[in-house]
Amino acid sequence: MHVDESKKFDKRNIERNIKDRVIIQKDYEIHLSRLPDASDKIFLPEEDRADIEEFESSSENESPSKKKGLKKKASKGK
């Protein structure tokens, strides 16, 4: 089986390559650790950033009992 070296760690092929023993999990983890950090290149418009921060703060403050109350009950109407 021919495996293109440039696509050996392609995220679309990684599961199959590990299953077919083209690479081992340890090789994949080493590959991931060598990738550069690109988190500073992400673009979030200011309004999206505010929405995310608001969502995170509200989800941290909710108690489990409050989350249960949000589910709607199915109505029996025939």
Q: What is the DSSP letter of 7?
A: G
57 vs 51: CA distance, rounded Å:
10
pTM of the predicted model, to two decimals?
A: 0.47
Per-residue pLDDT of the chain (78 residues; tens, 9 = 90+): 667 888 888 999 999 999 999 999 999 999 999 999 998 888 877 766 666 677 777 766 655 555 455 555 555 555
Question: Given this model, what pLDDT does residue 33 score?
Answer: 94
| Domain spans of the chain, in order of start | 5-36
